[in-house]
Amino acid sequence: MALEFPEPIDAFFTGHWWLLYLPLGLGCLVFQYVQRWGFLVLSGLFLLVSTLLACSLGRAATVPLFLYALLPSLFLNMLLGLLLHIREDEDPAPPKYQARLQLRSGSITLKNIRRGVSIIGSAGSGKTESVVYALLRHFQKHGFSGVIHDYKHFEITELAHPLFHGQGIPFHIVSFDTIHQRVNPIAPRYLPDEESVNEVSRVLLENLLEQREPVAQGPSKFFTDAVEGLLGAMIWMLRTHHPQYCTLPHLIAVYQLLEPGHLAQWLGKDPVAKAMADAFIAGRASERQTAGVLSTLANALKKISTQRIFMALSADEVDLDINNPEHPAVLSIVNHPKYETAYSPVIATVLHTVTKQMSLRGQRHSFVLMEEAPTIRLPNMHRIPATLRSYDITTVYVMQDKAQNDMMYGDRASRAILSNLSYQFFGKANDPDTAHYYERFFERVKRPIRSVSKKTDFLAPDTRVTNTEREVGKVRSEEFFRLRQGEFIAFSDGKDRKVRFPSPMAPRALPRPRFAPDSPEITANFHRIHLEAKRMFQKS
């Protein structure tokens, strides 16, 4: 029996087609959003309904129903399915990696901060109190562990301490003038094999010698390798035969204690140490070569042979395995612009050990925040952001100017570092070359250019107007000179946006230090370490 309608079906669907579009469209959208297989189910239902209607209504009534309802709805279903498929292909990151940073008006969302963040802005552009503080709040909210390099003497630490203290994750501070906690970056548990010893000795020496780029081949390369091998051999001897004294202060004390002959004899007792220091031991016949190696290492270690550095590095109180799920922590390593030459080599060594311990699968989500990153040199820094990303570690790279990074790593390595950081925040620039570098990050657009030429002939004046299009940067270099404090041009997920962060009324606080700079315990610790070095060889 055929269905009956109060008015002709043609007129009904022609005048009221939207009644079917609206519920069917909303139903398709909701169902396909919830279920990945919704497109197939709805397509099957459309075919089933069309078959039943064709059998019940007949051909004359079914044709307008197909034209005005079923076919448009099926098309809408296919369109929504395609859009949702594209959305699913984006593979959104978990909420803890989606950082929503509050602005003066609205917010900006970084969809996956594991891809890395770089913040570049001149002094006074507001990097710390705007972008860095907003990221720290996100890390605290989602329970990140991590490490902070605080270059400006507690500026970031006094912002981070109130955020993380008492929130379930311990907050440790390592500084070298006011001593809060002590750390040992060459503890035996961090050096399982010869390769790890070679790496840590290389990091320490490159920063002590202030090598800005890889050393060229030739005599300088030979002396650097010989000194590096000697330093690594001493670390290996302490790690293997005197693990309780395997600290940088004890290493320095031993080196200053032993004569060249006794040093070579001591290193020759262990075959691994002998192989590491073979260039030094084999060159003992040449007094000039031996003096060159020993004096190079002596001048390098002299920079960190201070009482306060000895105190900060003389005990293993802070576990540098900071993203271990069993004992996560946030570690702030404090530098000082006045003593950068002495502190930066030690900080680089600690950061190297931390990143090596963090580079394990299955660990807690964490971050590495490097303020004034070009002040320290880490080996293969251009590969670190990409490597840490695989271990759920977010890299935040902060600096004042790209030129600083070029001086430390060279132009090619500097470009490789920044290209591995997907989210870019560009603040105020003072250098034209830096501003032009920023401009190249943004797409090229065509803009109309109007040129007017006038002929000044009194008898036959002429004016010509030429309208052309020219490809220019979407964000011009001069815009970066006009940015105010807290104002940045952000480049994220292929889109650019000018943002301005609010001036936060953030609480600032620091815990009481364990040892003041003039504490008598610091001097007593210095003498104790030298006495322990003497006793170590008296026993042997």
SS3 state of residue 150: strand
Which residue type sits at 523? T
Residue 352 parent element (H or E)? helix 340-358
The reported pLDDT for the residue numbered 3 is 47
The reported pLDDT for the residue numbered 88 is 47
Q: Where are the domains of the chain?
A: 9-89
Report which DSSP code applies to 189.
Answer: G
**Residue burial 327-336, b: 16+ Cβ < 10 Å; e: rest:** ebbbbbbbbb
The reported pLDDT for the residue numbered 405 is 87
How do residues 199-255 score in pLDDT, each as one tens digit?
999 999 989 988 765 554 555 777 788 899 999 999 999 999 999 999 999 999 999
Distance CA 203, CA 269 (A): 26
SS3 state of residue 264: helix
Question: Is the distance from CB of 344 to CB of 372 less than 8 angstroms?
Answer: no
Which stretches does DSSP call E strand in 305-389? 330-334, 366-370
Q: Is the pTM of this model over 0.85?
A: no
Distance CA 198, CA 333 (A): 23
The reported pLDDT for the residue numbered 240 is 93
The reported pLDDT for the residue numbered 30 is 59
In degrees, to the nearest 5, what angle opens at C-alpha 322 toward C-alphas 420 and 135?
Answer: 50
Name which of 282, 337, 334 is nearest 309 in CA terms: 334
**Residue burial 312-323, b: 16+ Cβ < 10 Å; e: rest:** bbbebebbbbbb
Return the half-sphere exposure (C-beta side, CA atoms, 13 A cut-off) of residue 37: 3
Residues of the chain with pLDDT under 50: 1-3, 5-6, 17-18, 88-89, 216
Based on the number of CB atoms within 10 Å of its own CB, is 478 exposed (0-12), middle (13-18) or buried (19 or more)? exposed
Distance CA 323, CA 391 (A): 10
Return all residues near 514 (Cβ < 8 A) that are at least 6 apart: 179, 180, 181
